[in-house]
């Protein structure tokens, strides 16, 4: 018997907000595309990571509405605002509950506190973003009898991140633990290195997912679990090598582009490079402040 029964999933990849400013190589400063997953039962559905802006919420909401399901829950993988500042709009439109781990909820409050110094300086059209998310007992909730399991994987591109495991679909909705054809945000690894992130990837791998939906992805890529895990690890290997061989943020930026010419989200590559080299070049200064100013 097919354990999935009537369960299925679909992915909507939202365009990033319009670019503002330019990168060192002269091209527009473009953020990464953002992916939301809709897990569908016969009548009900669960949505993940609904994005940042009002425009994204409208596009995603219209897509969800077209699927003809009752949206019960909206799951948030981690505290970064690009994954959830639009959650309130979707929750209101569909009458859905917002769900996250306790660690993610704490990080969502950090995201709200950081918003005026970061997101509001980068983009307009970000809606009100109160934290309304609730935890669920045992980090598990259900969709028409199928388990949806919140797995806390620790530090990836930020602290206290989680993924959603749907065993009956052999699916992991990975947030920013796994990337797919998009530059990874390495800034928050500037102090402790990539070891914690590698451990988190190991936690994802242990779930043996056939499919992985990365929170940032090129919509032309498939969702093969083994490939996306291997490529995410390889990107970290390359970053470690380039941190040894490149002396400047610009050198790191150019070398990564040479190795990953088709990766999207070069703004994130530049932010990462500035944060990694900024922290390294300014020992004794507050790393959190350096990482924040790398965005601006
Ligand atoms: Zn993200």
- Per-residue pLDDT tens for 67-78? 999 999 999 999
- What is the distance in A from the centroid of ligand 1 to the CA of 47? 16
Which pLDDT belongs to residue 1? 53
Q: Dihedral sign, CA of 127, 132, 136, 139?
A: positive
Residues of the chain with pLDDT under 70: 1
- Say how far apart CA 90 and CA 142 lie, in whole Å: 20
pLDDT tens, 12-48? Answer: 999 999 888 999 999 999 999 999 999 999 999 999 9
Residue the block writes with tokens 């490529």:
231
31 alpha carbon – ligand 1 mean position (Å): 10
- Residue 5 alpha carbon to ligand 1 centre in Å: 31
pTM of full prediction above 0.75: yes
- Separation CA 219–CA 54 (nearest Å): 21
pLDDT of residue 20: 84
Tokens 């029964």 sit on residue: 5
Q: What is the pLDDT of residue 166?
A: 98
Output the pLDDT for position 165: 98
- Cα of 155 vs centre of ligand 1, distance in Å, is 13
CA of 80 to the centre of ligand 1 (A): 6
Q: How far is the CA of 1 from the centre of ligand 1 (A)?
A: 37
CA 37 to ligand 1 center in whole angstroms: 14
Cα(142)–Cα(259) distance, rounded to whole angstroms? 42
CA distance 59 to 39: 18
Q: Which long-range contacts (CB under 8 A, 24 or more apart) does 125-130 make?
A: 125/17, 125/53, 125/54, 125/55, 126/52, 126/53, 126/54, 126/81, 126/85, 126/86, 127/53, 127/54, 127/57, 127/85, 127/86, 127/88, 127/89, 128/88, 129/81, 129/84, 129/85, 129/87, 129/88, 130/88
Residues 6 or more apart whose CB falls under 8 angstroms from that of 262 comprise: 181, 218
Centre of ligand 1 from the C-alpha of residue 32, in Å? 8
**φ and ψ of 73, to 5 deg:** -135, 150
Ligand 1 centre to CA of 2 (Å) is: 33
Question: Under DSSP, is residue 263 helix (H, G, I), strand (E, B) or coil?
Answer: coil
């Amino acid at each position: 018997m097919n354990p999935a029964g009537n369960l299925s999933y679909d992915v909507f990849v939202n365009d990033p907000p319009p670019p503002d400013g330019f990168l060192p190589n002269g091209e527009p400063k473009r953020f990464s595309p953002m992916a939301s997953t809709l897990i569908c039962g016969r009548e009900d559905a669960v949505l993940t990571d609904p994005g940042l802006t009002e425009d994204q919420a409208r596009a995603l909401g219209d897509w969800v509405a077209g699927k003809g399901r009752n949206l019960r829950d909206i799951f948030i993988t981690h505290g970064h605002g690009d994954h959830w500042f639009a959650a309130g709009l979707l929750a209101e439109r569909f009458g859905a509950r917002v769900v996250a781990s306790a660690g993610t909820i704490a990080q969502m409050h950090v995201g709200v506190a950081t918003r005026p110094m970061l997101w509001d300086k980068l983009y307009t059209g970000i809606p009100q973003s109160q934290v309304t998310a609730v935890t669920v007992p045992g980090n598990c909730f259900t969709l028409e009898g199928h388990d949806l399991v919140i797995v806390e994987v620790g530090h990836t591109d930020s602290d206290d991140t989680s993924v959603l495991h749907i065993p009956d679909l052999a699916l992991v909705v990975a947030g920013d633990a796994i990337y797919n054809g998009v530059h990874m945000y390495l800034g928050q690894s500037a102090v402790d290195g990539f070891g914690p992130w590698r451990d988190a990837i190991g936690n994802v791998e242990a779930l043996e997912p056939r499919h992985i939906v990365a929170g940032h992805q090129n919509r032309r890529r498939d969702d093969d679990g083994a490939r996306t895990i291997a490529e995410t690890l390889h990107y970290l290997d390359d970053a470690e090598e380039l941190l040894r061989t490149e002396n400047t943020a610009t050198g790191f930026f150019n070398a990564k582009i040479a190795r990953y010419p088709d990766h999207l989200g070069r703004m994130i590559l530049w932010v990462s490079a500035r944060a990694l080299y900024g922290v390294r070049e300014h020992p004794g200064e507050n790393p959190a402040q350096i990482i924040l100013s790398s965005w601006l």
